[in-house]
């Protein structure tokens, strides 16, 4: 709205005995007052313009290294990623559910509910398998201070190539490479200046999905076939990253690898990586990963998935304490491996898998109203429920919150498990400002049993036994 200034002319009868100085002072005061108002308005407009410009400016995210290790910085401030893999999957829905197709009113209710809980826990960053539209990336950043990693899957689960759906992406095919590169760079261009974007990451354990075949590949000895396929994958990753960095120079770029498989190929073929993104399920400890990455890549590490399920497959029951203990030990190790602690110094955070249980993960298109207890794969690193010859990883139980009932707004609630409260205490600590001995002492004093007795935790248990 434009400001309107009204100038009044004062006329006094000649017979009135009024001191001209009083009139002059009155007029002068009024003009001065008007001038002050105009000045304030002008300053306000300038400041508002500056604020809007600042608020709409792309965040500058960088990696930093010195003799003490690596850090991630956002607009010059240290940012250790305290993140979760986030998605909203209602009961009765599966991977095809699209929150962003709902009304803005409902979307805002979901985000306000979810991100209020996340902010209360100390979460500062999310990773999502679905694309969060730019305006909502900025919304959760401005309202809750939570940033988003943009993670195009880059053909991991198939892709539309030349108008045809290809279920197993062939990274050696020229048309596939050109299509993926063009599409990925278009995404980078769309999100490059969006406030709240922390980085770009491509793929999701794509090294585990090298299922395509071709004449040249099939002619190789069996042990060399996947290595040759991986060369095509990682070379394409680097082409996309190199060109992406020219489009979005204020953001770091990475991949989401399955553990550190093919680390030598990554070192050879991905020189433009800013950090290593990896999904890692090694149980309570990440073992030699820190040193391996330090020696072969000299890059900081962000875990894009890690954690534990909350179901004990051996005893066939929910087991919140075991989940919480594993997550506590994992974060303690991550803090120890962060900057300034006399170790590798290459830990800059991670995204716990996951925020909330998803009830579609096992059969994917069946039993969507039921939380399945089926364990679909085996991992000996999770000794609390591992047994020889048996699966022990329950995909529908990885949430640090459980999928609850609808609230008054129609939003499915997230009911905190013990792990939520344990991580809240850990995320309240800053691994950069606290001394190593201080955060180790504080973590060792976390009382899992006490946190496990919270009323909300008991409610999760009762709801899951209804």
Measured between alpha carbons, how far is 407 from 456 in angstroms, rounded to an integer?
15
Measured between alpha carbons, how far is 133 from 442 in angstroms, rounded to an integer?
38
Confidence (pLDDT) at 218? 59
Confidence (pLDDT) at 213? 72
Are residue 19 and residue 145 in the same domain, yes or no?
no
Are residue 8 and residue 78 in the same domain, yes or no?
no
The pairing of beta strand 81-85 with beta strand 301-305: unpaired
Confidence (pLDDT) at 453? 78
Are residue 19 and residue 84 in the same domain, yes or no?
no
Instruction: Locate 214 and state its tokens.
Output: 């071709």
Are residue 45 and residue 74 in the same domain, yes or no?
no
Query: Residue 265, exposed/middle/buried by CB under 10 A (0-12, 13-18, 19+)?
Result: middle
Three-state SS at 280? coil
Average pLDDT over residues 327-350: 98
Count of H-run helices and E-run strands, the chain: 13, 17
Confidence (pLDDT) at 459? 57
> 193: domain range?
68-463
State the total domains in the chain: 2
Are residue 50 and residue 74 in the same domain, yes or no?
no
Are residue 110 and residue 11 in the same domain, yes or no?
no
Are residue 328 and residue 458 in the same domain, yes or no?
yes
Are residue 171 and residue 120 in the same domain, yes or no?
yes
Q: pLDDT of 282-318, one tens digit each?
A: 999 999 999 999 999 999 999 999 999 999 999 999 9
Q: pLDDT of 229-268, one tens digit each?
A: 999 999 999 999 999 999 999 999 999 999 999 999 999 9
Average pLDDT over residues 89-107: 97
Measured between alpha carbons, how far is 421 from 400 in angstroms, rounded to an integer?
9
Are residue 298 and residue 181 in the same domain, yes or no?
yes
**Residue 102 DSSP label:** S
CATH of the domain at 124: 3.20.20.80
Q: pLDDT of 114-166, one tens digit each?
A: 999 999 999 999 999 999 999 999 999 999 999 999 999 999 999 999 999 99
Answer whether residue 63 is part of any domain: no
- Pick the closest to residue 396 from 362, 351, 354, 352 (CA basis): 362
Residue with the larger pLDDT of the pair 433 and 463: 433
Answer whether residue 61 is part of any domain: no
Q: Is the dihedral of CA 280, 286, 290, 293 positive or negative?
A: negative
Are residue 298 and residue 442 in the same domain, yes or no?
yes
Do residues 310 and 98 lie in contact, with contact meaning Cβ atoms separated by under 8 Å? no
Measured between alpha carbons, how far is 167 from 161 in angstroms, rounded to an integer?
10
Are residue 412 and residue 281 in the same domain, yes or no?
yes
Are residue 134 and residue 34 in the same domain, yes or no?
no
Q: How far is CA 92 from CA 111, 231, 359, 364, 397, in A?
A: 20, 40, 8, 10, 16
Task: pLDDT band for 48, please (50, 70, 90 cuts).
Answer: very low
First to last CA, the chain: 58
Does the pTM exceed 0.75?
yes
């Amino acid at each position: 709205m434009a400001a309107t200034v009204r100038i009044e002319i004062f006329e006094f009868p000649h017979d009135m005995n009024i001191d001209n100085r009083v009139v002059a002072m009155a007029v002068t005061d009024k003009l001065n007052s008007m001038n002050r108002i105009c000045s304030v308005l002008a300053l306000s407009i300038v400041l508002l313009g500056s604020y809007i410009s600042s608020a709409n400016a792309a965040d500058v995210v960088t990696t930093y290294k010195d003799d003490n290790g690596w850090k991630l910085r956002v607009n010059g401030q240290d940012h250790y990623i305290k993140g979760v893999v986030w998605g909203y999957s209602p009961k009765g829905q599966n991977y095809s559910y699209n929150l962003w197709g709902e009304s803005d009113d409902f979307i805002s209710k979901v985000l306000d509910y979810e991100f209020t809980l996340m902010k209360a826990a100390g979460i500062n960053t999310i990773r999502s398998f679905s694309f969060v539209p730019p305006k909502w990336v900025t919304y959760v950043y401005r309202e809750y201070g939570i940033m988003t990693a943009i993670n195009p899957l880059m053909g991991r689960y198939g892709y539309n190539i030349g108008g045809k759906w290809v279920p197993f992406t062939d990274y050696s095919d020229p048309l596939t490479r050109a299509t993926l590169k063009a599409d990925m760079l278009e995404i980078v261009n769309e999100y490059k200046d969006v406030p709240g974007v922390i980085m770009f990451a491509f793929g999701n354990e794509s090294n585990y999905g090298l299922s395509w075949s071709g004449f040249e590949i099939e002619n190789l000895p069996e042990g060399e076939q996947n290595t040759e396929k991986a060369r095509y994958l990682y070379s394409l990753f680097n082409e996309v990253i190199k060109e992406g960095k020219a489009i979005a120079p204020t953001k770091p770029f990475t991949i989401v690898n399955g553990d550190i498989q093919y680390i030598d190929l990554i070192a050879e073929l991905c020189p433009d990586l800013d950090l290593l993104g990896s999904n890692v399920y090694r149980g309570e400890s990440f073992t030699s990963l820190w040193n391996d990455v330090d020696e072969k890549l000299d890059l900081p590490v962000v875990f894009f998935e890690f954690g534990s399920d909350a179901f004990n497959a051996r005893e066939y029951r929910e087991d919140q304490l075991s989940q919480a203990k594993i997550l506590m030990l994992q974060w303690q190790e991550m803090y120890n491996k962060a900057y300034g602690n006399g170790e590798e110094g290459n830990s800059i955070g991670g995204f716990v898998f996951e925020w909330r249980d998803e009830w579609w993960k096992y059969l994917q298109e069946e039993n969507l109203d039921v939380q399945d207890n089926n364990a679909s794969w085996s991992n000996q690193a999770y000794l609390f429920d591992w047994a020889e010859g048996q699966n022990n990883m329950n995909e529908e139980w990885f949430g640090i919150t459980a999928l609850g009932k609808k609230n008054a707004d129609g939003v499915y609630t997230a009911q905190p498990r013990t792990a939520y409260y344990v991580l809240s205490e850990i995320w309240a600590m800053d691994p950069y400002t606290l001394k190593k001995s201080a955060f180790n002492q504080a973590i060792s004093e976390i009382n899992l049993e006490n946190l496990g007795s919270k009323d909300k935790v008991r409610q999760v248990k009762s709801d899951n036994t209804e």
